[in-house]
Amino acid sequence: MIDFRYHIVSIVSIFLALAVGIVLGAGPLQGEIGTTLQNEVAGLRKDKADLNTQLSTARAGTEARDSFLDAVSGRVYGGTLRDRGVALVVMPGSDAAVSESVVAALGTAGARVTSTTTVGEDWVSTDAKTVAARDEVVARVASDAAVDTSTGSAQPRDLLLATLLARTAPAGDNGPDDATARTGLEALADAGLVSIDAETFTRADLVVVVAGTVADGDAAARTATAEQWVALTAALDDRSRGVVVADDLAAETDGTSVLATLRDTSSATREVSSVDDAGSPLGLASVVFALVQQDGGSAGQYGLGAGTDAAYAPVPSAAASS
């Protein structure tokens, strides 16, 4: 049995060990420990300084690369989209700077931006009152424009908007004429579903969707909303010669990314292209080249994020030889 003397001895042993540690730390080992700590601190400071230098060098290199690419963009992809009309579709939560940069890049490529359509959040709302009012407007506009929205599995509203904005052949298709299409778009705008900016409107050959993030609701609700926006891009692709979804993932705010949701949808990535660094000159070149690829019947995912096929879209042979 452990008696009281055992406890006394144990306690005394503990205090003796502490005393020895203090004596050694303050005496013979003091210099060695202090020197070791000083060397380690000095080493960490040097590592930090080296990393800061490397970061500054990398940033300077990136800025120089972007400046160069911006300066030579006209030579790299100038004229690659000549005679092509492109509709810009802007989703909620997108970056206005990306939209502006894409429009400038399309102009450099020789494309004509036929319209800029900003789609409101009510387009994908699940509120019963909003859904009823929206569906009534969609049905009326579709009837007036003679647009068949009953084919396929896409939502009637998505098929309607896609048909009003784009066409499947450069010389026209079975959709409405440009004047009728514009009237339909203006009716959707009057209902507060979209806003349209088009000085000289015509239905487009190709579409660029400027996507963003879904911020409202819990994770499941955000994902469901993002999937509805992906469904719209699929409808736009079905009723045009091709769609490229553009975003700058590095600048995205918190929320569920529509572009990332697209890349998680295998049926969509087989048809729709995406560029996740559209805020940079490299990404803007990819937007242009991905549109050329779409016009030729192929698709791909490009940029620096997850789910890409390559860092940049394939350079068309005409641009490569120019």
Run means of pLDDT, 10 residues per run, the chain, 322 residues: 62 68 56 69 76 69 59 71 95 94 95 96 95 97 93 90 90 84 97 94 96 91 95 95 94 87 93 95 95 95 94 79 48
Domain boundary among 32, 51, 77: 77
Cβ pair 162, 239 in contact under 8 A: yes
Residues 240 and 107 in one domain: yes
Q: Can you give the pLDDT at residue 38?
A: 74
Please compute Rg for the chain using Cα positions. 30
- Separation between Cα atoms, residue 35 and residue 41, nearest integer Å: 10
Tokens 């969707």 map to which residue? 209
End-to-end CA distance of the chain: 96
Distances (CA, A) of 172 to 38, 137, 251: 76, 26, 38
**Residue 45 backbone phi and psi in degrees, to 5:** -65, -40
Residues 65 and 165 in one domain: no
Q: Can you give the pLDDT at residue 30?
A: 54
Q: Can you give the pLDDT at residue 321?
A: 47
Residues 142 and 279 in one domain: yes
Residues 142 and 90 in one domain: yes
- Separation between Cα atoms, residue 204 and residue 88, nearest integer Å: 9
Q: Can you give the pLDDT at residue 43?
A: 74
Cβ pair 118, 232 in contact under 8 A: no
The pTM of the full predicted model, rounded to 2 decimals, is 0.80
Residues 67 and 156 in one domain: no
Residues 125 and 5 in one domain: no
Residues 92 and 215 in one domain: yes
Q: Can you give the pLDDT at residue 78?
A: 83
Q: Can you give the pLDDT at residue 66?
A: 60
Q: Can you give the pLDDT at residue 152?
A: 76
Q: DSSP characters for 68-96? A: HHHHHHHHHHTTTTTT-EEEEEE-TTB-H
Strands 206-210 and 194-197, bridge-based pairing: unpaired
Residues 114 and 29 in one domain: no
Find the DSSP H helices in the chain: 4-26, 30-77, 96-108, 128-145, 156-165, 178-190, 219-238, 258-263, 266-269, 281-295, 317-321
Which residues span the domain enclosing 10?
1-77
Q: Can you give the pLDDT at residue 213?
A: 94
Q: Is 48 exposed, middle or buried, given 0-12, 13-18 or 19+ CB atoms closer than 10 A?
A: exposed
Domain count of the fold of the chain = 2
Residues 60 and 94 in one domain: no
Residues 97 and 65 in one domain: no
Domain boundary among 77, 103, 120: 77
Domain boundary among 46, 77, 108: 77
Neighbour tally for 24: CB within 10 Å: 12
Residues 17 and 55 in one domain: yes
* Residues in contact with 12: Cβ distance below 8 Å, sequence separation at least 6, in sequence order: none
Residues 140 and 192 in one domain: yes
Q: Can you give the pLDDT at residue 102?
A: 97
